[in-house]
Amino acid sequence: MSPAPQPLPPRPPHSRALPALGLALLALVGASFWSLSLRWADFLGPQALGQMGHFLAGFFPPETSGPFLRKTGWAALETLAMSLIGTGLAAAVGLLLALPASLSGGALATLLHAAARAVLNLLRSVPELVWASLLLVSAGLGPLPGTLALALHTTGVLGRLLAEALENVPPEPAQVLRSRGAGVVPVFLFATLPQVSAQWLAYSLYRWENNIRAAAVLGVVGAGGLGQMLSFHLGLFQMREACTVLLAMIGLVALVDALSAWLRRGA
C-alpha cells in the first residue's frame, strides 16, 4: 500500500507588476535598437568580418623595440604617479571636507553640513573624464589636468564615505579628552581620527585601484599617461604599438590590484 500523497505546498503569490515591468523593459530595449539605426551590416557582413579580422591581426605581434618599450615604461610610471597623487590629494581634501559634512547641531553646523554635502555631491556626480576635459581648458594638455580630475572626482567619493564614518564614530573618547581641557585640534587628532583612520586607509586603497583604471584611460582626452599614447597610436593606425600600450595597461592594473590586496592584508 502506498503512503497517502503529501499535499502540494500552496502556489507562490502571483505578481502582476512583474510582467508589466518586463514588457516596459522590452519596449525600452526595442525602442533603443530601433532609434539608433545601428550599422550591423558594416560590422557583421562577410566583407566587414574579414576586414575586422585583418584589423585585429594587425595588433600582433606587439611592438617590442627597446626605445618604444622605454617610452611605454615611462608613460606607465606617469599613469601610476597620476593615480597616486590624485588619490593622495583626494584622501587629504576629502578628509577636510568630511569634517564639516559630518557636523550636526546648531544653525551654523547645519549650514556647513549642507554646503559641504552639496560640494561633495557635485564633485562625485561628474565623472573623471568629464572633469579632465573641462580642466584641459585651463591647464592645457598633459598629466596635470588628469591628476586634478582624478583628485576632484575621488574627493567627492572619499569625502562622502568619510563623513558617514565620522558620523558613526563613538563620541566617548572625544568627550573624555574635551572634559580634560584638550582643544579642538588635539581632540580630533587623538580621539576621533584614530577611530576612522583604518577605514580612511581602506577606502583610499580601494579608490586607488579604481583610479589606476581611470588614469589609464583619461589620457584619451589628452590628459597624459598610457591613455594618451594609446589614442595617439590608434589614431595613426599603428596597431602593434597600440597593442604594447594595451598590454602595459592591463599589466599595470593587475600589479596595482595585487599590491593593494597585499597592503590591505598587512594593514
Partner 1 sequence: MSAALVASAVAARDPALQRRWLALLAAAVVLWPLLVLAEFQPWTLFDARSLRVTGRFLAQFVPPRHDAEFLALLACETWRTVAIATAGMALAGLIALPLALAMTERLSVSAVGGRMARGPAWLRQAVRACTVVLRSVPELVWALVFVRVVGLGPTAGVLAIAIAYGGMLAKVWAEILESADAAPAQALLGHGAGRLQTGLYAALPASAHELASYTVYRWECAIRSSVVLGFVGAGGLGQQLDNAAKLFAGGEVSAILLVFMALVALSDRVSAWIRRGLA
- Ranges within 90-129 binding partner 1 (CB under 8 A): 125-127, 129
Closest distance to partner 1 from the beta carbon of 26 (Å): 9
- C-alpha cell read off for 129: 573624464
**184 burial class (0-12, 13-18, 19+ CB within 10 angstroms)?**
exposed
CB 219 within 8 A of CB 226: yes
Instruction: Number of helices (H) and strands (E) in the chain: give both, helices first.
Output: 12, 0
Looking at beta carbons only, is 199 or 238 nearer to partner 1? 238
**Closest distance between partner 1 and the C-beta of residue 87, in Å?**
11
Contact with partner 1 (CB under 8 A) among 7, 9, 14, 35: 35
Nearest to 209 by CA among 246, 252, 244: 252
Q: Which is nearer to partner 1, 94 or 224 (CB)?
A: 224
Residue 132 neighbours by CB under 8 Å, 6+ apart? 145, 146, 149, 218, 221, 223
Which residues in the 217-246 window bind partner 1 by CB under 8 A?
Answer: 217, 220-221, 224, 230-231, 234, 237, 246
Q: How far does Cα 122 stand from its chain's mean position?
A: 15
If one asks whether residue 47 binds partner 1 (CB under 8 A), the answer comes out as no
Rounded-to-5 percentages of helix, strand, coil across the chain: 80, 0, 20
Based on the shown chain and the rule CB under 8 A, indicate whether residue 259 belongs to the binding site for partner 1: no
Minimum distance from residue 237 beta carbon to partner 1 (Å): 7
State how far the Cα of 145 lies from the Cα of 219, in Å rounded to an integer: 10
Binding site for partner 1 (CB under 8 A): 17-18, 21, 28-29, 31-33, 35-36, 38-40, 42-43, 51-52, 55, 77-78, 81-82, 84-85, 88, 125-127, 129-130, 133-134, 136-140, 142-144, 147-148, 177, 180-182, 186, 190, 213, 216-217, 220-221, 224, 230-231, 234, 237, 246, 249-250, 253-254
